[in-house]
Structure formats: structure tokens, C-alpha cells
Amino acid sequence: MISIENITKQYQGVTAVKDLTLSIPSGCLFGFIGPNGAGKTTTIRILAGILVPDAGTVRIAGIDLNTRPEKAKQKIGFIPDRPYLYEKLTGNEFLKFCADIYRVRPKDFIAARDRYLSLFAMQDYADHLIESYSHGMKQRLVMASALIHDPEIIIVDEPMVGLDPAAIRLVKKLFRDLADKGKTVFMSTHTLEIAESICDQVAIIHKGRILTHGTVAELQARAGDSHDRLEDLFLDLTGSGEVP
């Protein structure tokens, strides 16, 4: 479970996130959507413990991220939009490095590594240097590394960017399966069709504030007959569909 209470973040006078409150239960695949500059990455970086909010509290599985950051981060698997990889390591070495940070036991590491290398069809490349990987392979390695310690909470920023259709299908199924196993998945996305097809709950953020939050069906019902697709509702609420 993720509990966000009244978080606010400013950058040099620009308010990126304003008094944001959300509660995401265990077993929920949560879609966080909003136009460019809405505050999605800022929120995600706060949830991952990379940015400290100016005000407000984040609890990860009941643990205060501010007062007990190490304990809270142990429960998080973070997949950033622009990951940093050590290109001179092999895929295997990078996974081991990440597992060691989280103090994963050797037996558990081998089982998780083999599971994710197989799931992401990377066995043949595991001993190659990361610098030789394609963009999609790097993305898949980052996902494997974020899941290697079997986190309770998965925080993902724009996971589908740059993936081919087969990989997108795989990742959609992976996140759905993780939520079905009781994990909490917090995912930002620009792809409304993905939010619509796999998310249990969706929130739309605009100018740092939550405009609406609920299941896709609830949002559509609230918005009335003309909004039979999430895209219509999104464009209407954020004003992005207006033709100047």
C-alpha cells in the first residue's frame, strides 16, 4: 500500500506538485496520467525517495519514507523513465550488483535472475556488456533489476516508451500479474489505452493537482455520456483537446 498525504514540491518558485493526496491499496495497478509538465515524474521521484517533498508525508507499506527511508526503500522497486546503467558491466553483473544492494540471499538471487532473464528473453545476452544492448534490452534489464528483490511496491515512470509491441504486451501482463499477486504498482503513462486496459484505478494530474481519481468506469460515469473513452475525459479535463 502507498499512502500519500498532502505532498507539495516547488522548484525555484515553480509549483510542480500541490497538496497531493492519494491512497493506493495492495493489489492495485494504479495508472497516473497527465499532460507534459503535469507533475508525474516529480511525484514518482518523491515516492521512490529520490526527491524530498517540501511538505507532506509518504508511507510505503505503512513505513514513513522520510523518517525511515532505508526500511521503506527496501520495499520499493523503482523503474525510472531515464535509467542509469553501468555500461561496462554485463547484464548478469548488473543484476547481481542490484541484488547485493538489497541484500538478496544468493539462492533467491539465482532464482529471481533466472526467472526474469527467461521472462524477458535475455538469457543469451546476460553475459554481454550492457553497452552492446539495444534500448529495449536495456529497458528490460532495468525492469528485471527493479524486481530482483521481490519488492512489495513497484513504482514505474513511463515503462512502455521505446518498447516494441511484443515487449509492451509482456510488460502489461507482468504488471497485471504483479498486482494480482497483491503487489502495489504505481505507473505513470502517457498511453491512455494502456491505463484503460490494465489499470484498476486511474488518477489524472494537471498543473500539480489531482483532477479526478477512481476506476476507469467510475471516471467515465462521473463525466457523463459523451466520455465513453478515457481519452475524451482526459482531453476534456486537462483542456488538451482544445483547438486554438
Ligand X SMILES: Nc1ncnc2c1ncn2[C@@H]1O[C@H](COP(=O)(O)OP(=O)(O)OP(=O)(O)O)[C@@H](O)[C@H]1O
**Which grid coordinates are listed for 192?**
491512455
The smaller minimum CB distance to ligand X, of residues 20 and 112, is found at 20
| Spatial distance between the Cα atoms of 210 and 13, rounded to a whole number of angstroms | 20
Output the smallest distance, CB 205 to ligand X, in A: 7
> For the chain, where are the E strands, in sequence order?
2-11, 14-24, 29-33, 55-60, 63-64, 76-79, 153-157, 184-188, 201-206, 209-214
Here's the x/- map for ligand X, 31-50, by CB under 6 A: it reads as ---x-xxxxxxx--------
User: Count of residues binding ligand X (CB under 6 A)?
Assistant: 12
Output the smallest distance, CB 219 to ligand X, in A: 19
Output the smallest distance, CB 158 to ligand X, in A: 7
Output the smallest distance, CB 45 to ligand X, in A: 8
The smaller minimum CB distance to ligand X, of residues 152 and 158, is found at 158
- Single out the segment in contact with ligand X by CB under 6 A; choices: 11-19, 106-114, 126-134, 210-218: 11-19
Output the smallest distance, CB 84 to ligand X, in A: 16
The smaller minimum CB distance to ligand X, of residues 42 and 201, is found at 42
The smaller minimum CB distance to ligand X, of residues 39 and 77, is found at 39
**Which grid coordinates are listed for 237?**
479535463
Query: Vertex 181, ends 211 and 120: CA angle to 5°?
Result: 95
Secondary structure letter of residue 203 according to DSSP: E
From the list 101, 201, 193, the residue with the least C-alpha distance to 145 is 101
Going from the C-alpha of 74 to that of each of 64, 70, 146, the distances in angstroms are: 12, 6, 11
Output the smallest distance, CB 125 to ligand X, in A: 29
206 lines the binding site for ligand X (CB under 6 A): no
Other residues' Cβ atoms within 10 Å of the Cβ of residue 84: 7
Output the smallest distance, CB 91 to ligand X, in A: 27
Chain CA centroid to CA 206, Å: 18
The smaller minimum CB distance to ligand X, of residues 47 and 174, is found at 47
106 lines the binding site for ligand X (CB under 6 A): no
Other residues' Cβ atoms within 10 Å of the Cβ of residue 48: 23
Q: Binder to ligand X among 14, 103, 225, 243 (CB under 6 A)? A: 14
16 lines the binding site for ligand X (CB under 6 A): yes
Q: Which residues bind ligand X (CB under 6 A)?
A: 11-12, 14, 16, 34, 36-42
